[in-house]
Structure 1
């Protein structure tokens, strides 16, 4: 069972590397790479915190670390949603003239 637990412990770091690699690739291929990176970073940060919380849980880490990482993920998610709403504000407004 410890072999399986040791193997599962490698999954979150690999997933984080893939997540940020994908984020970097999508940003590099976009017309405005830095703007795209700014728009994708909060989402990637949220996912990173979730994956790190999973890694801590798989390694039988402390509950304080897990809760802290989940709270950071929630903050990053809220920033992502706020950023998307601000970007779409013009679409929600209507002209009364």
Structure 2
């Protein structure tokens, strides 16, 4: 769900019946002059019950439209979290 604290409006993305989205991670677009605060993507692992598997859902953070879906080769259990660690420079 995306909540606008200035206008009091909210927008949500439905993942479907028997689907459980995980905590979304925000990945910012390349920053530059005039970049909006929500320019980037939301990544979430979505589990579709015990038999249908999982997918990585990529949403446009600005309007919550689907940008991509990556079917996972097997079910990813709930509670798995990602870590975004910058590349190390040698």
TM class by smaller structure: under 0.3
TM-score (norm 2): 0.23
Q: Which has the higher helix share?
A: 1
For CA contacts below 8 A with separation 6 or more, give which structure has more relative contact order.
Answer: 1
Structure whose residues are more often strand by fraction: 2
TM-score after normalising by structure 1: 0.22
Larger radius of gyration: 1
